[in-house]
A and B are shown apart, each in its own frame.
Chain A
Amino acid sequence: MAQRYDAIVIGGGHNGLVGGAYLARAGLRTVVLEQRHVLGGAAATEEVVPGFRFTVFSYVVSLLRPEIIRELELPRHGLAILPLDGTFTPLDDDYLWRVDDHGRTMRELRRWSRLDAEAYEEYGRLMVEMARFVKPVLSMVPPDPTVLDPRPWLPVGALARRFAELSDRQQQAFIQLMTMSSADFLDQWFETDPLKATMSASGIIGTFLGVRSPGTAYVLLHHYMGEIDGAFRAWGLPRGGTGGISNAIGAAARAFGAEVRTEARVERILVRDGRATGVVLEGGETLEADDVLSSLDPRQTFERLLEPDVLPTEARLELGRFKYRGSSGKVNLALDGLPDFRCLPGPGDHLRGAMSFSPSVDYMVRAYEDAKYGRFSRRPYVDCVIPTLTDPSMAPPGKHVMSCFVQYAPYQLAEGEGTWDDQREAFGEAVIDTIEERAPNIRSLIVGRQVLTPLDIERTIGLSEGNIFQGELTLEQLFFNRPVPGWTGFRTPLRDLWLCGSAVHPGGGIMGAPGRLAALEVLRARRDGRRGQRAEKTTSGEATGPGSGGLPGAALGGVGSAGRAARRAFDTLRDAAAAAGRGREGGTGW
């Protein structure tokens, strides 16, 4: 006899856990299934070198939604975020060092350029205004732009009204942020090359784009949306590494009554009569549920866990077009001491923040050019933190761990560039060489190292092509286009199967928003469903049950005649549903 739940969440990464916690909080019998022995997916802490705990994949936090922290009472479950102060950009014989202390940053910038120091303040103000304007989008369920039912558009309408009220200059800035390259955007403000390089670097993290590629400026804004204790633009290190966040969410989920299982690898999703009805675990155990939420990316969900024929051909094609293109790697170092920078020797506060190897915009462009043609950057952009300076519990006394995020490491290596399995060490060397150029003692400090290529990321935590955001965060893959145009409301063409990972709006980063929004949609659909069933008894002729996730699938027609037929079918269904929807309070959300 199969175990029966109200909801099953596949994947115990931070989004899966958030989703599970919200469902359990609403009283649903919920289970979260994680294949690994640790929770957190890409937000996990592991002891890889004895005595040294690495935040293996992700390493800092900024975007975790405050409402999640509040609603799940995460601090009570052990969440503590320690501030990460400053960004240090080492150069050959100089450096650029920005800290939270406004006066010090101003003095430092004036040393480089008086104009830039002035512009920096104005820039900061504008970005905070922009972040405030755009933040509601993070808690919005994207509507389908081709559906004329106005209800899902209401929140967007509110946003549009606020947009209309912005000044020309603010409108301009918003549009530019959505469309420009980060370097071009910053060129308008600043002249100091290492400043532009370091700031623009945040625009390329996790994407297969360069600092001069249009579309990267958006991520600059993403970073101003980060909020810790109400302070915009703050980055932090979770105590115990990013795994500390996952463990806190996991504890919250358990406290709300969810079952959270590790080493429970889902083998496949059960489908009956065109609905997802449960999962089969490795080993044969079967779990059943009304709703199945996958926090895995769509490729893992639909290609590994389901038979190809559950999706109509067009939907399969469209899903195949969703771009992953992992571009980042990670090098974790266990160190015997602290790195000593040639440009600023000795220990000091500059080691306590982020150390960004981004000396010039051209350097960043060259790093990208390597990747464009299928090789890892010989001189990569590296963003390092030494969490042990903030949280000494991560390593034995006097020892340190250094977490190095590296870009670019293209998942797909060109012909003649070998395979990632035989390039792993060379890649690690390129990273250490890059650091060594500016901190010559680094090599002698290393007592253990872990090199993670995009292939390793894919193999270990199941992120397709090693993309840390479960799919590129490019404009055509954001908002209502994420992951597939027309799959709105976190639904998939398979009824009762939902997506709740970074592959759905609003995307990646340790944010938790996809997990929360998807869970809230599931809950809403269940409420509407009950209402719908009641309504069905009194009024006959309701064509489609509310929350019927199958509908978007019918809309995924192509240009062929089959596509047109599907489209007509969809239009008919939509009209019927809209007509039915008018008779109810609330809506089906699509």
Chain B
Amino acid sequence: MVSGTLPTWDAIVVGGGHNGLVCAAYLARGGLRTLVLERRETVGGAAATAELEPGVRIPLVADTVGRLRPAIARDLRLHDHGLRLIAPAVRAFAPQPDGRAVTLWADVERTARDLGEWSAADAAAYPVFDARVRVFGRFLAGFGDTTPPDLHAPGLADALAGLRLGRAWRGLGTVDGRALLRALPMAVADFVGEAFESEAVRATLATRGVRYAALGPWSAGSTAHLLTDSAAPGAGAAGQTVFAVGGPGALADALAAAARAAGATIRTGEGVRRVATLDGRVQGVVLASGEEVAAPIVVSALDPKRTLLGLLDPVELGPTMVWRAGNLRLGGVVAKVDLALAGLPHFPAAGEGPTAERRLRGRILVGATSIDDLERAFDASTVGRLSDAPFLEATIPSLADPSLVVGAREPRHVMSVLVQWAPYHRREGDWDADRKRLGDLVLARLDEVAPGIGALVTARRVLTPLDLEREFGMTEGHPLHGEPGLDQWFAWRPMAGLGRYRLPVGGLYLAGSGAHPGGGITGAPGANAAREVLADRRAGLP
């Protein structure tokens, strides 16, 4: 028992990122007196909107929110709490060296028509490929909403032997079931290579298999990553591109409002120093200020490494768990560049006029020109270097959502750029010294597809992997709280024995992206963790 305080709380959620908020909202709805503690001054974590210059707001880290589970939006009535979504007709636009571009639209037929410019065979293959990705995505969405099985349960054998892996698995049928099992461990280069012949088309479709991950297109398991990303409503092969009006911070605000409406209390500017334990049970938390807050349940929405090694006493964990936690693969490989622009940059590959502008409303892929080009950009990261030609995924959210720049004194656009394969662990050099160099490199890379963009920049912010760690507490700068490889997946995410949201201290749970089904703004880990907390409580466990 933490001395001197009466337990006013049933549950404390450490970390007010989107998963922490989702979890808190569900806990509060379940009748628990719930307190959320967020170290930063605003909630949302990586789902944040920040001002870049006066009146100009930009998604700080994540830029789209389309993977949010529809059930969560419904349960928490996020629309009532102010969430508005915009889904442009275009999903992705990938300029190519010859001046053309691959464009993926929400409309499958339109995409197929456009792909005809690259290859008639690819145009014909696209709807089939898209349909298959949708089938897999639907299955994985259901899979993601499910708490993984206990790998020690005696019933596990029967489940596998009798193939009672659930109705969803049977629903897949023979052909899709076999195809899915074959696809998951595949390299995404093979997955797209089997369906398409044009390098530009292959690369464009493959990018979601490597985004945010220390994977290259030839890495096994990148297909699983692509399909997990496709577990979003209507994502399909093109992937979703859905913006929240007001940026991802608006989602965070809606989630916070929902949590508060359900009865949760949110305190910002309150970092947690450690989780207090006694005899293998959680007692509460100790704040950075030294204040002790008691609660029988603590849910961490921080990454698993920080949770296990940063918040807990190593003696409590024991040497084996400390060793295993230290081996969690979290080395981040992405950086973020935010730009304020004096006007809309000109992308010659998009053509001219209003059509051109429509092509720029989704994800703009720079460097998705061939599988080999992507792989080369990845190669550098495997030996701890930043590629000279990194892959970039940019959005210009102010096109679809002018509210972001409505307060600007002069006309403005904002561009949010994800830099892929900027490794946190570098062999030489350090990120603090190279922040400007990274920004310049990104602008030079953008200039290749949008000549003159540099002259439009009125403000920029560079977040290196080191900044992501410092600012958002993502250990080793990993935005997904852990590599999404098949070795940290499903019932063994973050590791075998901890795959069911329960950590090795009684009453301590994991609700962040380091838990199944992993990273991205889905809210699923938070919702699943809340369900398990409530189930344990009903069972009288904590």
Q: Does A441 contact B (CB under 8 A)?
A: no
Residues of A close to B218: CB separation below 8 A: 213, 372
Given the known interface contacts A475-B220, A476-B186, A485-B178, the answer about A164 and B156 at a Cβ–Cβ threshold of 8 Å is yes
* Interface 0/1 of B291-329, CB less than 8 Å to A: 000000000000000000000000000001000100101
* Interface 0/1 of B173-185, CB less than 8 Å to A: 1111111011111
Give Cα distance in the complex from A171 to B149, angstroms. 13
> Which listed segment binds A: B67-75, B204-212, B278-286, B491-499?
B491-499
Would B128 and A560 count as touching, CB distance under 8 A? yes
Residues of A close to B489: CB separation below 8 A: 179
Q: How many residues of B contact A (CB 8 A)?
A: 55
- When C-beta atoms are compared, the residue in chain B nearest to A151 turns out to be B161
Give Cα distance in the complex from A168 to B498, angstroms. 9
Given the known interface contacts A172-B495, A188-B327, the answer about A474 and B220 at a Cβ–Cβ threshold of 8 Å is yes
* Interface 0/1 of B132-155, CB less than 8 Å to A: 100000000000000000011110
Would A365 and B382 count as touching, CB distance under 8 A? yes
Give Cα distance in the complex from A372 to B185, angstroms. 19
Shortest CB–CB separation between residue B151 and chain A, in angstroms?
5
Q: Does A148 contact B (CB under 8 A)?
A: yes
Give Cα distance in the complex from A164 to B156, angstroms. 7
Give Cα distance in the complex from A373 to B220, angstroms. 17
* Interface 0/1 of A11-23, CB less than 8 Å to B: 0000000000000
From the candidates B163, B375, B495, name the one contacting A153 in the complex (CB within 8 A).
Answer: B163
Interface footprint category on A: 35 or more
Would A172 and B173 count as touching, CB distance under 8 A? no
Would A153 and B161 count as touching, CB distance under 8 A? yes
Give Cα distance in the complex from A157 to B158, angstroms. 7
Residues of B close to A214: CB separation below 8 A: 215, 219-221, 485-487
Would B492 and A175 count as touching, CB distance under 8 A? yes
Given the known interface contacts A164-B152, A372-B375, the answer about A172 and B162 at a Cβ–Cβ threshold of 8 Å is no
Shortest CB–CB separation between residue B179 and chain A, in angstroms?
7
From the candidates B132, B154, B175, B486, name the one contacting A567 in the complex (CB within 8 A).
Answer: B175
Interface core residue of A176, A323, A480 (most chain B CB under 10 Å)? A176
Residues of B close to A209: CB separation below 8 A: 220
Residues of B close to A163: CB separation below 8 A: 151, 156-157
From the candidates A145, A156, A158, A474, name the one contacting B177 in the complex (CB within 8 A).
Answer: A145
Would B185 and A156 count as touching, CB distance under 8 A? no
Given the known interface contacts A559-B128, A567-B175, the answer about A157 and B485 at a Cβ–Cβ threshold of 8 Å is no
Q: Does A46 contact B (CB under 8 A)?
A: no
Shortest CB–CB separation between residue A483 and chain B, in angstroms?
11
Shortest CB–CB separation between residue A187 and chain B, in angstroms?
8
Given the known interface contacts A145-B178, A214-B221, the answer about A171 and B162 at a Cβ–Cβ threshold of 8 Å is no
- When C-beta atoms are compared, the residue in chain B nearest to A563 turns out to be B175
Give Cα distance in the complex from A160 to B163, angstroms. 12
Residues of A close to B152: CB separation below 8 A: 164-165, 171
Would A150 and B324 count as touching, CB distance under 8 A? no
Given the known interface contacts A171-B151, A563-B175, the answer about A148 and B163 at a Cβ–Cβ threshold of 8 Å is yes
Residues of B close to A559: CB separation below 8 A: 128, 131-132, 175-176
Shortest CB–CB separation between residue A440 and chain B, in angstroms?
29
* Interface 0/1 of A467-486, CB less than 8 Å to B: 00000001110001100011
Given the known interface contacts A145-B163, A215-B220, the answer about A474 and B174 at a Cβ–Cβ threshold of 8 Å is no
Given the known interface contacts A215-B185, A373-B372, the answer about A171 and B496 at a Cβ–Cβ threshold of 8 Å is yes
Given the known interface contacts A146-B173, A169-B320, A172-B496, the answer about A160 and B221 at a Cβ–Cβ threshold of 8 Å is no
- When C-beta atoms are compared, the residue in chain A nearest to B149 turns out to be A164
Give Cα distance in the complex from A148 to B171, angstroms. 12
Q: Does B379 contact A (CB under 8 A)?
A: yes
Q: Does A154 contact B (CB under 8 A)?
A: yes
Given the known interface contacts A171-B151, A481-B182, A485-B181, the answer about A323 and B497 at a Cβ–Cβ threshold of 8 Å is no
Residues of A close to B221: CB separation below 8 A: 179, 214-215
Q: Does B51 contact A (CB under 8 A)?
A: no
Give Cα distance in the complex from A567 to B177, angstroms. 12
Give Cα distance in the complex from A556 to B153, angstroms. 34
* Interface 0/1 of A550-585, CB less than 8 Å to B: 000001111110011001001100000000000000
Give Cα distance in the complex from A386 to B220, angstroms. 35
Shortest CB–CB separation between residue B369 and chain A, in angstroms?
15
Q: Does A369 contact B (CB under 8 A)?
A: yes
Would B157 and A157 count as touching, CB distance under 8 A? yes
Other A-B pairs, 15, CB within 8 Å; known A476-B182, A560-B128:
A146-B174, A147-B174, A148-B163, A160-B156, A163-B156, A165-B152, A175-B492, A213-B219, A214-B215, A214-B219, A475-B220, A476-B184, A559-B131, A559-B132, A571-B174
28 contacts between A and B (CB under 8 A): A145-B163, A150-B161, A153-B160, A153-B162, A156-B160, A160-B157, A160-B159, A160-B161, A161-B154, A161-B156, A169-B497, A171-B497, A178-B486, A179-B185, A179-B486, A214-B219, A215-B221, A372-B372, A373-B376, A475-B220, A476-B183, A481-B178, A485-B178, A485-B181, A555-B175, A557-B175, A559-B175, A559-B176
Listed in ascending order, the chain B residues whose CB lies under 8 Å from chain A are 128, 131-132, 151-154, 156-163, 170, 172-179, 181-186, 190, 194, 215, 218-221, 320, 324, 327, 329, 372, 375-376, 379, 382-383, 485-487, 489, 492, 495-497
